[in-house]
Amino acid sequence: METIECVKSRRSTRKYLDKPIEKETIQKIVEAASYAPSWKNTQVTRYTVVENPAKKAELANSAVLGFTPNSKTMTRCDKLIVQSVVTGVSGFEQDGSFSTAMEDRWQTYDAGISAEAFCLAAYEYGVGTVILGIIDPAKIAEIIDLPKDQKVTSVICAGYPEGPRNAPPRKSADELLRFV
C-alpha cells in the first residue's frame, strides 16, 4: 500500500469481526511503530496488550469515565492496547531540567506520533483501530499493573473490521494551511 493511500483510507474502527489477531501480527505492528520519531530518539512509548476477557471487561466497565460508547468499543475489539510513556525522559535534559518551554508535554507528542504509526501499520496488516481518549489513566494503570515509571496516554482498540467505512468530510488544504 502506498503511503498517501494508507493515510487517506485508514478509518477509526469501532465494530469488529470475531477473529483473533495473532501475536506475531501485533509484534509486527509494534515493530513498525517503533520507527516513529521521538524526542532525541528516546523511544519512550510502550504498549501493553490486554487480551484477557475479564481484564478487558474491567477496563470497559470502570476506566472510561462513564462514556458508554468507549465501553462498547472496548468489549467488541479483539485486543485492547494500552499505550503508555516512560516519564521523565522525553523533553528533559540529563540533569532533570526541561529542554524547552514544552516541558514534559513532549512525551505526549511522542505518544501521539507513535499511536498514529501504530494505527497505520495495523491498517497495513488489515487490522482496524480506534484511539480512545475518554479514559481514566490512573484506573487503567492500576488494573493492568503498569510500571510506576510509566503513564497511560491512550487506549487503542484493535480488531479485524466488520466492514469498510466511508471517509467523513474533510476540510480543504486551503482551510488548514497558512503561509507567512
Q: Give pLDDT, residue 40.
A: 87
pTM of the model: 0.93
Average pLDDT over residues 12-29: 96
The pLDDT score that the predictor gives to residue 101 is 87
Q: What percent of the chain has pLDDT over 70?
A: 100
Q: Which set of grid coordinates corresponds to residue 114?
A: 507513535
Model pLDDT, residue 39:
85
pLDDT reading at 1 higher than 80: no
Pick the CATH number of 3-162 from 3.40.109.10, 3.50.50.60, 1.20.1050.10, 3.40.50.1000: 3.40.109.10
Q: Average pLDDT, whole number, for the chain?
A: 93
Are 146 and 84 spatial neighbours (Cβ–Cβ below 8 Å)? yes
pLDDT at position 112: 95
Taking CA atoms, 170 is separated from 2, 101, 165, 167, in Å, by: 20, 32, 15, 8
Q: Which residues lie closer than 8 Å to 41 by C-beta, 6 or more apart?
A: none
C-alpha torsion sign, points 128, 134, 137, 142: negative
Task: Determine the Cα–Cα distance for residues 86 and 119; give it in Å rounded to an integer.
Answer: 20
Whether pLDDT at 115 is above 90: yes
- Residue 27 has a pLDDT of 98
Question: pLDDT tens digits for 143-162?
Answer: 999 999 999 999 999 999 99
Band (94; pLDDT cuts 50, 70, 90)? confident
Residue 178 has pLDDT above 90, yes or no: yes
Spell out the domain ranges in the chain.
3-162
pLDDT of residue 103: 84
- Residue 159 forms beta bridges with which residues? 128
